[in-house]
Amino acid sequence: MELELPIQNNRKLEQVAKKVAKNTEIEANLECANVNAMKRLKFSDHGPTHVKIVANAALKILRILVDSGVTPSIVEHHEMEVEDAEVVFSPSP
């Protein structure tokens, strides 16, 4: 499942996105979630499309916050980098 994230030179995010894209178990789990949500419970999409939308939105919001001067907590408290925060926020199926 291709997440179609705007990587913007974040090699860590690129590596994780590539691993997610190759992982058939993640895609199968998301398809099962979609069957349960959409067909059985009559909810809106909770499968691959939902994950792509949410991952992109989370990444966009994080980047807006960082550009506005907000420091992600994993940067402030755990000696990590903004690139790590982008990985945590984005591809999280």
Q: Is residue 45 included in any domain, yes or no?
A: yes
Q: Is residue 31 included in any domain, yes or no?
A: yes
Q: Is residue 76 included in any domain, yes or no?
A: yes
Does residue 92 have a pLDDT over 60?
Answer: no
How many domains are contained in the chain? 1
Please count the CA atoms within 13 angstroms of the CA of 67 that sit on its side-chain side.
6
Q: Is residue 33 included in any domain, yes or no?
A: yes
Q: Is residue 6 included in any domain, yes or no?
A: no
Structure letter (DSSP) for residue 80 = -
Q: Can you spell out the DSSP letters for 37-74? A: IIIIS-----SHHHHHHHHHHHHHHHHHHHHTTPPPHH
Q: Is residue 15 included in any domain, yes or no?
A: yes
Does residue 12 have a pLDDT over 90?
Answer: yes
Q: 57 lies in which domain range?
A: 11-89
Does residue 93 have a pLDDT over 60?
Answer: no
Does residue 33 have a pLDDT over 90?
Answer: no
Structure letter (DSSP) for residue 12 = H
Q: Name the average pLDDT for the chain.
A: 89
Q: Is residue 4 included in any domain, yes or no?
A: no
* Predicted confidence band of residue 30 (pLDDT cuts 50, 70, 90): confident
Q: Is residue 62 included in any domain, yes or no?
A: yes
